[in-house]
Chains A and B, each alone.
Chain A
Amino acid sequence: MRVVVADDVMLTREGIVRLLREASVDVVGEAEDADGVLRRVATSKPDVAVVDIRMPPTHTDEGLVAAQRIRAEHPQVGVLVLSHYVEPGYALRLLEEHPERVGYLLKERVFDIAVLIDALRRIADGETVVDPTIVSQLFARKRREDPLANLTTRQREVLALVAEGLSNRAIAERLVVVERTVEAHVKQIFLELGLEAGPDTHRRVLAVLAYLRRDA
């Protein structure tokens, strides 16, 4: 797998690069700002670009903007945004226009190599990755009438994994059940919540996240 890494803090960038190289990931380029990563992506056409959300000049959301541009200009290149913020709004913004081949992970996941590699693989395979902390924050959101209360524990578990961007097959693997069971769960959950079950895994991530974020 070929990857480009963008982070303006050299220490962090080098750490990520070293970890990825140890895990036999081919790091084909490094960048320290939004323009740099756009150039690198254009020249080396990686499978995934790992982009820090805070980059010069304002250190707020330059990485998010760069990610959206990469997705728009290079549809074959996936983007993993590493964020300092537990902001579902940012994750949704990233997913809204191009819901496939994108990921929003919190910065601290970066040195958990298993999580990082899994996220990169899923993105390269065309899936979507949403940080579990974001999903659990949305699950914990206070609601006047909580539709999630009507779900069984298992159903909530499945819904959370759907929101994290996992495919039915991946959910089945994670929960050690057969894929058919997951399919049945998802169908039941969507029916319960009044959500329309689309055939498309990415669209359903977006639908579930938006549903969880509704005012209630």
Chain B
Amino acid sequence: MSGVAHAADLAAGLGLLAAGLIAWLEPATSRLGPVAALAGVVWFAPDWEGWDGGPAFARSVGAVTLPLFGVLVLHLVLAAPRGRVAPGAAWAMVVVGYAVALGVGIGWALVRNPVLDLYCWRNCLDNVFLVHEDPGLARALGRVWLVALLLSGVLLLATGVARSLGATAAARRPLLPLLVSGALVGGVQAATAAALLRTPLEDPRSSEFSSLFLARALAVTALAAALVVTALRAARTRAAVGRLVTELGETPPPGALQGALAAAVGDPTLEIAYRLSSGRYVGGDGKPAAVPAPGGGRAVTSVVREDRELALVVHDAALLDRSALEREIGSAAKLAVENERLRAEVLAQLEDLRASRARVVERGDAERRRLERDLHDGAQQRLLALTYDLRLARAAFGADRDRELATTLASAEAQAQKAFEELRELAHGIFPAILTEAGLAAALRSLADTARVPVELHVTDDARCPDPVETAAYVTVAESIGSAASRRATHARIEVDRAVEALVVEVTDDGEPRDAVEASLVDRVGALGGVLTAAPNLLRVEIPCA
């Protein structure tokens, strides 16, 4: 071996060993550490095997452990970044890989006599484990190993390419170094295996083999470096999660924890669902949060403190291992989660209260609408029928036959008419049908028709809003106009506009200053999450209208 090759050989093996130790020390990648360290040890197996004049036992061990290197690298890359191989195809590949490597190693130990190996060059003397020499079987095992090496190289290459293209951008970032360097190792390994299948004698003097060896050593060094980068990144993430509490400060705004955690672990899609005492899950703003079912690339990690679930963290399954996250959210961070959970609980209660107020108002409105309908379709129709019958009766008797009766009937008819009109006004007062049917602008125009003060109506945008919102706006205007008239105003001005996702209605007048706003109005607007502003001659409501 040349000096350069020696240096590369040492760098690759020692690099893997060191990277393995570093990864071992970092909790998030500790499962990758032993695999990498072992790969570093096995990397030197050919050197043990080829130790001229070394102990026969060492040379024999080198020869039989040598096939393990390929599968160790495969294991390392497939288990990245958290140390677990995903169940399924990846897991099966790793298991088969170990089986083949061990099979070949043990097989060689039992039947290979290097002295009889035509193509031996590193060690043509020692195999202390030999039980029964079988050169044919030993050669066959050699071919199996080379084919397995070729396949695992291709698999590594394919996995590296597929996973670096397939994952989400956020999930890809921490994986990329291992995937790319793993693919490199795989590519060189496949090429080496192909060359050996073609030319069984690995002659270090041929430029083909020496450059392949150099490339492999460099790729393995890169893999070691990638593992160090991955481990350091994980350490930084863990530290960032640990620092969350200090970074959030004493009174972080609602929902800040989710953003901070997302930034700390590098998953912008991360969401926190806080568990309320009632068992419901809400976001930091107290609004109901959806907890996804397992699968579909979303992982759900439970944050537990003193045997009680505080929250669920929904995150990218590929990016963050559940147990890793559980580990990384330390006790200080859990305190932050608990604080935020308590606030979410209060916000959720407020939201529940608001929703319940909205339901009360809505039920009231529905009842009024039903009453209005009943008056039209029930009482009014009856009165119409009564008018009709009275008219028939009057016609049948005739004014000439009984003047008194005719007068009575005419009076009854007039009364029925009057009752009909009063009922109509009553129905309109209970609930103006035009509001539901034609919307706020039309209803306000109708209000202006009959107002007791001159009214100017300015509608900038008359896009429809949900019924409760329009009703609240209408009731506000009706109250203001009525109040303006009783405060001897000479005119009132109504402005209807749309702010961002809100309906804004403002009524101004020139009457005497108003005392107070009716509590029912404040309730109604508040129940819809709106704001009512009152001044002596102004009433303004802003109600959310998505």
Q: Which residues of B contact A (CB under 8 A)?
A: 373, 376-377, 380-381, 384-385, 387-388, 391, 417, 420-421, 424, 427-428, 433-434, 436-438, 442, 445-446, 448-457, 490-491
Is the pair B417, A108 in contact by a Cβ cutoff of 8 Å?
yes
Chain B residues, Cβ within 8 Å of A89: 434, 438, 442, 445-446, 449
Asked if A143 is at the interface (CB within 8 A of a chain B CB), the reply is: yes
Asked if A15 is at the interface (CB within 8 A of a chain B CB), the reply is: yes
Q: A12 with B455: in contact, given A61-B437, A88-B446 (CB under 8 Å)?
A: no
Sample of 10 A–B contacts (CB below 8 Å): A11-B384, A15-B385, A59-B373, A85-B424, A89-B442, A111-B388, A137-B449, A141-B448, A142-B455, A144-B454
Asked if A200 is at the interface (CB within 8 A of a chain B CB), the reply is: no
Chain A residues, Cβ within 8 Å of B373: 59
User: Given known contacts A89-B449, A111-B391, what 5 new A-B pairs fall within 8 Å (CB)?
Assistant: A59-B376, A111-B384, A137-B450, A142-B453, A142-B455
Is the pair B433, A60 in contact by a Cβ cutoff of 8 Å?
yes
Is the pair A87, B434 in contact by a Cβ cutoff of 8 Å?
yes
Chain A residues, Cβ within 8 Å of B387: 108, 111
For residue B428, give the distance in angstroms from its CB to the closest CB of chain A.
Answer: 7
For residue B23, give the distance in angstroms from its CB to the closest CB of chain A.
Answer: 70
Q: Which residue of B lies closest to A88 (CB)?
A: B449
Is the pair A141, B380 in contact by a Cβ cutoff of 8 Å?
no
Chain B residues, Cβ within 8 Å of A203: none
Asked if A90 is at the interface (CB within 8 A of a chain B CB), the reply is: yes
Is the pair A15, B449 in contact by a Cβ cutoff of 8 Å?
no
Chain A residues, Cβ within 8 Å of B434: 85, 87, 89-90
For residue A134, give the distance in angstroms from its CB to the closest CB of chain B.
Answer: 9
Q: Which residue of B lies closest to A16 (CB)?
A: B388
- Among A85, A142, A144, the one with the most B-chain Cβ atoms within 10 Å of its Cβ is A142
Is the pair A108, B421 in contact by a Cβ cutoff of 8 Å?
yes
Task: State which residues 43-92 of A face B: CB under 8 Å.
Answer: 54, 58-61, 84-90
What is the bound-complex CA distance between A59 and B434, given in angstroms?
11
Give how many A residues have a beta carbon under 8 Å from the other chain's beta carbons.
Answer: 30
A86-100 vs B: 1/0 string, CB under 8 Å? 111110000000000
Asked if A213 is at the interface (CB within 8 A of a chain B CB), the reply is: yes
Q: A11 with B385: in contact, given A89-B438, A108-B420, A215-B456 (CB under 8 Å)?
A: yes
Asked if A9 is at the interface (CB within 8 A of a chain B CB), the reply is: yes
Chain A residues, Cβ within 8 Å of B449: 88-89, 137-138, 141, 213
Asked if A110 is at the interface (CB within 8 A of a chain B CB), the reply is: yes
Is the pair A142, B437 in contact by a Cβ cutoff of 8 Å?
no
Is the pair A12, B433 in contact by a Cβ cutoff of 8 Å?
no
What is the bound-complex CA distance between A215 and B449, given in angstroms?
9
Q: A87 with B384: in contact, given A54-B376, A142-B454 (CB under 8 Å)?
A: no
Chain B residues, Cβ within 8 Å of A156: none
Q: Which residue of B lies closest to A22 (CB)?
A: B395
Chain A residues, Cβ within 8 Å of B450: 137, 141
What is the bound-complex CA distance between A87 and B446, given in angstroms?
6
Is the pair B442, A142 in contact by a Cβ cutoff of 8 Å?
no
Chain B residues, Cβ within 8 Å of A84: 376, 380, 424, 427, 433
Chain B residues, Cβ within 8 Å of A58: 437
Chain A residues, Cβ within 8 Å of B446: 87-89
Q: Which residue of A lies closest to B452 (CB)?
A: A142
Chain A residues, Cβ within 8 Å of B453: 142
Asked if A121 is at the interface (CB within 8 A of a chain B CB), the reply is: no
Is the pair B388, A60 in contact by a Cβ cutoff of 8 Å?
no
For residue A108, give the distance in angstroms from its CB to the closest CB of chain B.
Answer: 5
Asked if A216 is at the interface (CB within 8 A of a chain B CB), the reply is: yes
Cβ 8 A contact of B384, one of A59, A86, A108, A142 = A108
Asked if A107 is at the interface (CB within 8 A of a chain B CB), the reply is: yes
Is the pair A142, B424 in contact by a Cβ cutoff of 8 Å?
no
Q: Which residue of A lies closest to B420 (CB)?
A: A108
For residue B496, give the distance in angstroms from its CB to the closest CB of chain A.
Answer: 13
Is the pair B381, A12 in contact by a Cβ cutoff of 8 Å?
yes
Is the pair B384, A54 in contact by a Cβ cutoff of 8 Å?
no
Chain B residues, Cβ within 8 Å of A15: 384-385, 388
- Among B388, B417, B442, B453, the one with the most A-chain Cβ atoms within 10 Å of its Cβ is B388
Chain B residues, Cβ within 8 Å of A138: 449
Q: A85 with B438: in contact, given A9-B381, A215-B455 (CB under 8 Å)?
A: no
Chain B residues, Cβ within 8 Å of A141: 448-450
Q: A61 with B452: in contact, given A84-B376, A144-B491 (CB under 8 Å)?
A: no
What is the bound-complex CA distance between A215 and B456, given in angstroms?
5
For residue B421, give the distance in angstroms from its CB to the closest CB of chain A.
Answer: 7
